[in-house]
A and B are shown apart, each in its own frame.
Chain A
């Protein structure tokens, strides 16, 4: 309110609303207070705002977190670190087209259940990586026979892929299931010729102990880009290309990534493999200062149901 503005009740009551209600403001609004002394309506307005102020007024400036500001900031920073690490390790977000998000929500629920179910059923028949807080390694030293797909596992994987693919209007080009991860890749259009499926069991060993195990089902001729967590606190990003022939070729690019710095690769391998059903292929080794990582791929293939 300007110093020479007429003192109407409307102007005063508006000014009362706009004050910061501290004593300094009160002094500046001496004219208002003088008016209010003689005006019942404005006096009432002032009393009401004083009452509101007393009720919901400002807290003490000295209010601070229970253990001080530093501890509070550390708590939040630690919480963020923990939350982000959990997300990166356990919940890789599918890279899917925006218009498929709703379908993806429904399918991802099914995929998570299928992934868990597949591992729960097959864990007893072959060595698996034991994950506890992403730090524990279990020295299992698996034989090749233990890594191969059984007929029952192949049937389960194909059935699961068909279910997931149906949820995505037959666009699924690959499906990943593991103990702590699941993901799906989508083609831009339905795959009408997807009757041949390739099954790849991606096993990573560190110093002869399994640190990661995940199963990939991919339509022959398609490419999969996926990330799998490993128990040493890293992620392994795969780029796997396939061909559609009777004895398909696999091209593999794998990068070992820090959990919190996904743009920084600690090591990588690139190879091309000829695969026959029942093979357990040695895809290569990555040597880091923390140890030696070996990638093995058990291969099989199957036929899927015709798309409806």
Chain B
């Protein structure tokens, strides 16, 4: 049954099942990018709303989990990017944000987040899932419905690009 034919009650039960089985995964995907539990919860809720609103256009109900995962990751990156802009505008907040993110080079994180948004979506998803969320290659392949070798290829492409960017930043510094 595709989205156009399915009644609302069908989609409601499908989404309820996604919540019961995969809400931890969705939260961790968002948290991996945002490092903020409240924001991650909000992103999951937004993804759920988007899935409901676009249920007519989701052709394969069986692909709902990767569809929601993709929305969660992209929305999380969008928020991270917006935060970066806000931090630029509000210089006073910047130091706090750096402390919040922690790590040896907190200033670099927004730069990498920006670079992530420039990657092609299939590549970006693999990089985020593997590096920010710690999913294994076979877990990412299962989630995205592609082969493990394709995951490796995309990871290679994405990390190479990020590394190039990192070198550029070092040169500029």
Q: How far is the CB of B82 from chain A (nearest CB, A)?
A: 17
Give the CA-CA distance A201 to B137 in the complex, in Å: 61
Which of B32, B56, B105 is close to A55, meaning CB atoms less than 8 Å apart?
B105
Task: Looking at the assembled complex, report how far the CB atom of A128 sits from the nearest CB atom of chain B, in whole angstroms.
Answer: 27
A49 to B165, CA, bound (A): 12
Closest to B24 in A: A69
- With A18-B155, A59-B32 as given contacts, are A79 and B133 in contact (CB-CB < 8 Å)? no
Q: Are B112 and A59 in contact (CB under 8 A)?
A: no
Q: Which of A45, A59, A66, A76 contacts B23 (CB 8 A)?
A: A76
Which residue in B4, B44, B113 is a CB contact (below 8 Å) of A98?
Answer: B4
Interface assignment of B163: CB less than 8 Å from any CB of chain A: yes
B132 at the interface (CB under 8 A from A): yes
Q: A17-B156, A59-B32, A79-B49 are in contact. Are A73 and B103 (CB under 8 A)?
A: no
- Are A59 and B167 closer than 8 Å at their CB atoms? no
Knowing A17-B156, A49-B159, the reply to whether A54 touches B105 (Cβ < 8 A) is yes
B117 located at the interface, meaning its Cβ lies under 8 Å from any Cβ of chain A in the complex: no
The dominant DSSP class at the A interface is helix
A93 to B5, CA, bound (A): 12
A84 at the B interface (CB under 8 A): yes
Bound form: Cα–Cα A58–B12 in Å: 32
Q: Is A289 an interface residue (CB 8 A)?
A: no
Is B19 at the interface (CB under 8 A from chain A)?
Answer: yes
Minimum Cβ distance to chain A for residue B61 (Å) = 15
Cross-chain contact of A59 among B35, B49, B152, B166 (Cβ < 8 A): B35
Q: How far is the CA of A25 from the CA of B57 in the complex (A)?
A: 42
Known: A76-B23, A80-B16. A59 touches B31 (CB 8 A): yes
Total residues of chain B contacting the partner, CB 8 A: 50
A84-B52, A260-B9 given; A52·B23 CB < 8 A: no
Query: How far apart are A51's CB and chain B's nearest CB, in angstroms?
Result: 6
B90 close to A (CB within 8 Å): no
Interface code A27-56, partner B: CB below 8 Å = 1, 0 otherwise? 000000000000000000100110111111
Q: List 23 A-B contacts (CB under 8 A).
A: A14-B156, A17-B160, A20-B130, A45-B163, A48-B163, A51-B105, A51-B166, A52-B131, A55-B105, A55-B112, A56-B131, A59-B132, A65-B27, A65-B41, A72-B23, A72-B44, A73-B19, A73-B23, A76-B44, A76-B45, A79-B48, A83-B49, A260-B12
Sample of 17 further A-B pairs with CB below 8 A, known A18-B137, A59-B31, A80-B15:
A14-B156, A18-B152, A18-B155, A18-B156, A20-B134, A48-B166, A48-B167, A51-B105, A55-B109, A56-B131, A58-B132, A63-B31, A66-B38, A73-B19, A77-B20, A79-B48, A80-B52
Taking Cβ atoms with an 8 Å cutoff, the residues of A that contact B are 14, 17-18, 20-21, 45, 48-49, 51-59, 63-66, 69, 72-73, 75-77, 79-81, 83-84, 87-88, 93, 98, 260-263
B residues near A (Cβ < 8 Å) are: 4, 7-9, 12, 15-16, 19-20, 23-24, 27-28, 31-32, 35, 37-38, 40-41, 44-45, 48-49, 52, 56, 103-105, 108-109, 112-113, 116, 130-134, 136-137, 152, 155-156, 159-160, 162-163, 166-167
